Amino acid sequence: MSAPVRMTAPAKVNLALHVTGRRQDGYHLLESLVAFTGHGDLIEIEDALEDEIVVSGHYAAQVPLGGDNLVARARDLLRDKAGGDARAPVRLHLEKNLPIASGIGGGSSDAAAALRLLVDHWALDMREEELLALGLRLGADVPMCLAARPLVARGIGEAIEALPHFPTLPMVLVNPNLPLITADVFSVLECRDNAPLPELEPLHDVETATSWLSLARNDLEGPARQLVPQISDILDELAGNGATTARMSGSGATCFGIFSSQSEAERAGAHLQEARPEWFVMTTHTHAAEASHGG
């Protein structure tokens, strides 16, 4: 049997998210600047006598099992696509470190990491375009999580433009440990036809990124605050602890603070963890454009 192989499934952070319209089928059209962090869930794969999924970690109890588990769905979908080359049973171990339904793409990132691991484990000859199409069948966010690098996402999230230049951003993620369902947030969104992202210049450092982000927004932040008022408290705490930008990610309720240095992020994260032990607090950083998905 081969040794276990592990990969990080990073948190996906929507640094800006503009809702620009709605399709006839009900899906919302978006433009979003997305980055991925150096920390997240962990996925491990190894040979097994029969298929098995094991879940551990702080948020393991929140992970759905059976047909709703995205890691299991990724395995089964890839196996159906690959046929006989993917018959060998596998044990997939998910260490769930990120809260679910939290606006940072945990389930989608888990599925993307599982697909990457399975393609390598089964030694499948699969083009990137095929893998992205397979990911889209699992969810609109899975293709961007397969890319796992700074990008602009458009459409329903599936149209991806990788960014050639993007800095590492020192960051603190905070969630009130309250799940927030995306459909519920969209249900209270009043304006669904907003302006697109500002023109994106190359962002080379924290200062230029902060300057550009001040021109952008998250159109779902207001609706999410109506449903989870604690989001306002988190944003105030991040700003009060020195964040140059404090904003909600995705449909919430996770918020992020960008800091001028990693040491400032560490200081703020430690203070928030001590002051608000009931919150999820993770001090991390985003990957630069040169970094690739891996663990």
Catalytic residues: 12, 141
Q: Are 85 and 124 in contact (CB under 8 A)?
A: yes
Is 108 marked within a binding site?
Answer: yes
The span from the CA of 128 to the CA of 121, in Å, is 16
Q: Which is it for the CA torsion 66, 67, 70, 73, positive or negative?
A: positive
Nearest to 219 by CA among 13, 32, 4: 32
Partners of 53 in the β-ladder: 92
The span from the CA of 104 to the CA of 68, in Å, is 18
Is 10 marked within a binding site?
Answer: no
Q: Which is it for the CA torsion 22, 181, 109, 3, positive or negative?
A: negative
Is 214 marked within a binding site?
Answer: no
Report DSSP state, residue 39.
E
Is 105 marked within a binding site?
Answer: yes
Is 83 marked within a binding site?
Answer: no
Is 106 marked within a binding site?
Answer: yes
Is 101 marked within a binding site?
Answer: yes
Is 107 marked within a binding site?
Answer: yes
Is 263 marked within a binding site?
Answer: no
Is 135 marked within a binding site?
Answer: no
Is 167 marked within a binding site?
Answer: no
Residues in CB range of 272: below 8 A, 6 or more apart? 172, 174, 237, 238, 241, 279, 281
Residue numbering of the annotated binding site: 99-109
Residue numbering of the annotated binding site for ATP: 99-109
